[in-house]
Amino acid sequence: MTDQAKDRVYIFDTTLRDGEQSPGATMTHDEKLEIAELLDEMGVDIIEAGFPIASEGDFRAVSEIAERSKHAVICGLARAQLNDIDRCWEAVKHANRPRIHTFIGTSPLHRAIPNLTMDEMAERIHQTVTHARNLCDNVQWSPMDATRTEHDYLCRVVEIAIKAGATTINIPDTVGYTAPVESAELIRMLIEKVPGADEIIFATHCHNDLGMATANSLAAVEAGARQIECTINGLGERAGNTALEEVVMALKVRGDIMPFETKIDTRKIMHISRRVATVSGFPVQFNKAIVGKNAFAHESGIHQDGMLKNKETFEIMRPEDVGLAGTSLPLGKHSGRAALRAKLKDLGVDVGDNQLKDIFVRFKDLADRKKEVFDEDILALVTAAMTDGADHLEIVSLKVVCGTGGPAEATLEMEVGGEEKSCVMEGDGPVDATFKAVRALYPNEARLQLYQVNAVTEGTDAQATVSVRLEEDGKIATGQSADTDTVYASAKAYVNALNRLHVRRSKTGTDQKEISYKEFG
């Protein structure tokens, strides 16, 4: 590893692979392409675009991402099987900078699954890594559950992988079991004991089961690892992964003790965080580090007084650093399109003329209904504009009557495949009546798995962001919408999810994983 590489931390994003393994977080083909483009623009070094052999949909997505990528290395995942590796190479080979990532579980628990002896597994590692290197000069190898693998055996198989041609060795904490001191000691031990360790890059991939993923990743970097595997918003299996925004901002803020560089344009963090939350259907918790709604909010009188006198008393980073202004927008109903475009640019969002026209109409409507329009409101409008489109179902009008005098009543007009239909339905509350009206006009068997409402900003006129997750015949679809009218936002989110299910019905199997595979760290 060169001296320059020693001062650089490479960011490996696996939102489109490990992140999508979160139950219910499956993304459509177009959504994967969009997120990959945003990651590439943000400066992510390596994008793990998917698991090509898992399904035809995954293969198509990885292939198209590889062809479209402008800067990032595009990586595909493959099990320690020759056909997996061949399929992975077919998907990534057209990238400007392709990578094959192959793995096998090396701990006693994982060796027992294929019933391989230590020697048999060592031979398979040699065979599969060699095969991958014969196809591609950029090969990453991972010993799954490395943190629970015997140290002598881990050193042995890492050495085998290096000799077989691996250029990156990833050390996964697959079950989020390790602690920072152990994470650092493990990397130091491998660098000191394994021949050839100084010629390759060590990576770390930490899960968050005990809430220590970010700390474990940074400890590994301090010990000599130079690649961090992470996801946007920490999305991933079980409790998730190391969050990209956390490690990047930690390196930026604590450069005094971790003087390592990254290429990430941090001003784009907030925008991509919101977009991933939308397409995955996993809203960001309010107190989430860096990107949570409350990350830069101050309610305590003492805190507010300190912020007014000197922001550094209670903020260790600037909201602007992650693409979010710290004050309310000086925009109102008299503001023009140029002012809105300038604000979007300040927030790190680039839109075309047609998108700007749509967002501007939504902004004007919102400004007429709200006393204050915040940056979060603008980002919610961008998300809504990107989510809506020419859909099978479109709400024309909605009127709801509710109160203590009887059941709620929803009067709904909706276009279904271009045909306008209407009905009146009663329900146990306004949302229940509205959802029943939608089902009356568009009969379906989709089961509601999640209905969640979050306020984007403060006040009784705040926009509500509603997330809906539906399941139908094993297919899962999510929808999200924002509006100052919570019931209307609920209806839009529900209809958005139904539109996605409608698309998937016509592409059965396209976005579904067709084989089972063990959890990968």
Report the binding-site residues for Mn(2+): 18, 205, 207, 241
Strand 393-401 versus strand 408-416 pairing type? antiparallel
Q: Residue 192 burial by CB count (10 A; 0-12/13-18/19+): exposed, middle or buried?
A: exposed
Task: Return d(Cα 213, Cα 225) in angstroms, integer.
Answer: 15
Other residues' Cβ atoms within 10 Å of the Cβ of residue 314: 15
483: tokens are 């509006």
Question: Measured in whole angstroms, how far is the alpha carbon of residue 174 from the centre of its chain?
Answer: 18
Alpha carbons 69 and 46: distance in angstroms, whole number: 11
- φ, ψ of residue 329 to 5 degrees: the values are -70, 135
Neighbouring-strand partners of residue 408: 427
Q: Which tokens belong to 489? A: 């936002």
C-alpha pair distances (Å), 55 with each of 8, 32, 36, 58, 63: 35, 14, 18, 5, 12
**Cβ atoms within 10 Å of 106's Cβ, excluding its own:** 27
What are the CB-based long-range contacts (under 8 Å, 24+) for 283-286?
A: 283/452, 283/454, 283/465, 283/467, 283/480, 284/233, 286/454
